[in-house]
Amino acid sequence: QVQLVESGGGFVQPGGSLRLSCAASGSIYSINVMGWYRQAPGKERELVARVTSGGSTDYADSVKGRFTISRDNAKKTVYLQMNGLEPEDTAIYYCYARLRKRRYYRDNDYWGQGTQVTVSS
């Protein structure tokens, strides 16, 4: 089975930094997109950042200039470097991947279990 395992969440003061990691494992033929979403209490899940296998990136306007997404295709891992964290960044962060399990399969979406990020003084 395909699994996405996140790590790196935690508690940080405003202005601090965290680095999230997500490693994909299992039967994987190719990965088209990996990214990060977040969901705060009472709010809808929103896209934070994503990166394609070719290196193209997209960011939410609220995190541009503060967050950086990157990936290691060989390791099937995506990272999110978060700098200048603000209380509004507090949420559960979910890893996302669109991938193909086998050569003749269609692409499907997969989600990690989430990791908590709390920004507070």
- Identify the pLDDT of residue 12: 98
- Identify the pLDDT of residue 29: 95
- Identify the pLDDT of residue 102: 94
**Ramachandran category for residue 114: left, alpha or beta (phi over 0 → left; psi -120 to 50 → alpha):** left
Q: How far apart are CA 103 and CA 113, in angstroms?
A: 26
- Identify the pLDDT of residue 58: 98
The structure tokens listed for 29 are: 């033929």
CA pseudo-torsion sign 54, 59, 64, 67: negative
Question: What b/e sequence results for 53-81 when a residue is b if at least 16 CB atoms lie within 10 Å of its CB, and e otherwise?
Answer: eeeeeebeeebeeebebebeeeebbbbbe
- Identify the pLDDT of residue 88: 97
Query: Is residue 73 within 8 Å of residue 56, measured between CB atoms?
Result: no
- Identify the pLDDT of residue 119: 98
10-residue stretch averages of pLDDT, the chain, 121 residues long: 96 98 96 97 96 95 98 94 98 97 95 98 93
**Residue positions counted in the chain:** 121
